[in-house]
Amino acid sequence: MSAAESRAPGSFRAILALTLVLVAGLAAGGWYLAPRFERDPPRIELRPDSGVLGRAPMEIVVADRGSGLLAVTATLSAGGTEHTLASEHYAEAVAEKKIAVSLAAKLAAVKEGPAVLHVTARDRSLWNLFRGNEMSIRKNLTIDVTPPTLELIADDRYVNFGGAGMLVYKPSADTATSGVRIGEYFFPGYPGQVKDHPDRHVVIFAHPYDLPADARAALVATDRAGNTREMRLVYELKNVRYRKSTIAISDAFIQNKIAPLLRDEGARQGTPKEIFLRVNKGMRKENEERIAAITKKASPAILWRGAFSQLSNSQVEANFADARTYTHDGETIDHAYHLGYDLSVTRHYPVEAANSGTVAFVGDMGIYGNTVILDHGLGLYTLYGHLSAIEVKVGEPVRQRQILGRTGETGLAAGDHLHYGVYLNGVAILPVEWWDQKWIDDNVQPKLDGQSGEAIARSQERHAPRASARKRRR
Instruction: Return the half-sphere exposure (C-beta side, CA atoms, 13 A cut-off) of residue 67.
Output: 26
179 and 150 Cβ atoms separated by less than 8 Å: no
Q: Interaction with Zn ion in 329-348: which residues (CB under 5 A)?
A: 342
Say if residues 380 and 360 touch (Cβ distance below 8 Å): no
State which amino acid sits at residue 182.
Answer: I
Of the two residues 371 and 443, which places its CB atom closer to Zn ion in the complex? 371
> For residues 66 and 411, which CB has a smaller minimum distance to Zn ion in the complex?
411
- Smallest gap from residue 242 Cβ to Zn ion (A): 14
Query: In this chain, which stretch among 42-50, 124-132, 166-174, 419-427 interacts with Zn ion, using CB under 5 A?
Result: 419-427
Closest approach of Cβ 439 to Zn ion, in Å?
22
Q: Which residues of 93-106 are buried (b: 16+ CB within 10 A; e: fewer)?
A: ebeebebebbbeee
Task: Output the smallest distance, CB 172 to Zn ion, in A.
Answer: 44
| Residue 419 touching Zn ion (CB under 5 A) | yes
Please list every residue from 433 through 462 that binds Zn ion, using CB under 5 A.
none
Cβ at position 263, least distance to Zn ion in Å: 21
Stretch that binds Zn ion, among 40-48, 85-93, 349-357, 415-423 (CB under 5 A): 415-423
**What is the helix (H) or strand (E) element at residue 271, kind and residue range?**
none
402 close to 393: Cβ distance less than 8 angstroms: no
The distance of closest approach from Cβ of residue 314 to Zn ion in the complex, given in angstroms and rounded to an integer, is: 13
Question: Judged by CB under 5 A, does residue 288 bind Zn ion?
Answer: no
Q: Which is nearer to Zn ion, 342 or 416 (CB)?
A: 342
The rounded distance, in Å, linking the Cα atoms of 237 and 254 is 39
Question: If binding is defined by CB under 5 A, does position 144 make contact with Zn ion?
Answer: no
Measured CA distances, 232 to 125, 180, 393, 419 (Å):
54, 10, 42, 35
Closest residue to Zn ion in the complex (CB): 419
Closer of 342 and 442 to Zn ion (Cβ): 342
Q: Can you tell me the distance from the alpha carbon of 168 to that of 384, in angstroms, rounded to the nearest whole number?
A: 30
Nearer residue to Zn ion within complex by CB, 203 or 321: 321
What is each CA distance from 289 to 187, 296, 366, 419, in whole angstroms? 17, 11, 12, 17
State which of positions 359-378 bind Zn ion (CB under 5 A): none
* Binding residues vs Zn ion (CB under 5 A): 342, 419
